[in-house]
Amino acid sequence: MNTVMNTVMNAASLYGLVGAGLFCLGLYALIVHAHLLRKILAINVMGSGVFLVLVALAKRIGGGAPDPVPHAMVITGIVVAVSATALALTLMLKVATATGRAELPDDEGSE
């Protein structure tokens, strides 16, 4: 219990926990929802969670400035995430224009 309190009192691992929570929230929404736009939002939330964990871990240097290498990786990650989002949105629109619904077609023919 003492270690739990220690970790929560440390601001860096507080944000790390928030990042882990965001990742799991996003993963749950990704699994459960069928609508492609919601899936894209969920993936973005997952990405934000991962970035939070990375940067929270970068702050563990005692005193002074945080570690700049994870910061650079997260900036790269944000730009890659926006380009992936743009491509994913275009793919979703293609699926919607082809099938009339913004969901991936079901294989089992239950519709």
Partner 1 sequence: MVTTLLQWTFDALLGLVLLWLAWRSLASTDLFKSIVLFIAFGLLMALAWARLDAPDIAIAEAAIGAGLTGALLLGALARLRAVVNEEGVTPQQQPLLRRFPVWLPAILLLWVAAGLAYVVAALPPYAVGLSAQVAANLDASGVSNPVTAVLLNFRAYDTLLEMVVLLLALLAVWSLDIPLAGVAAAPGLILDTLSRQLVPILILVAAYLLWVGAHAPGGAFQAGSVLGAAGVLLLLTGWRLPPRLEGLPLRMILVAGPGVFVAIAVLTTLTSGQLLQYPPVQAGLLIVILETVATVSIGVTLAALFFGSPPRGKQHQ
- The tokens describing 105, both together, are 């077609």
Q: How far is the CB of 2 from partner 1 (least distance, A)?
A: 12
What is the nearest approach in angstroms of partner 1 to the Cβ of residue 53? 6
Does position 5 bind partner 1 by CB under 8 A?
no
Instruction: Show the tokens assigned to 38.
Output: 């919601």
Q: How many residues bind partner 1 (CB under 8 A)?
A: 89
Strand partners, 103: 35
Residues numbered 33-72 forming contacts with partner 1, rule: CB under 8 A: 33-35, 37-38, 40-42, 44-45, 48, 51-53, 55-72
CB of 12 to partner 1, least distance (A): 7
Tell me which residue of 86, 20, 27, 14 sits closest to 51, measured CA to CA.
20
What is the three-class DSSP state of 6?
Answer: helix
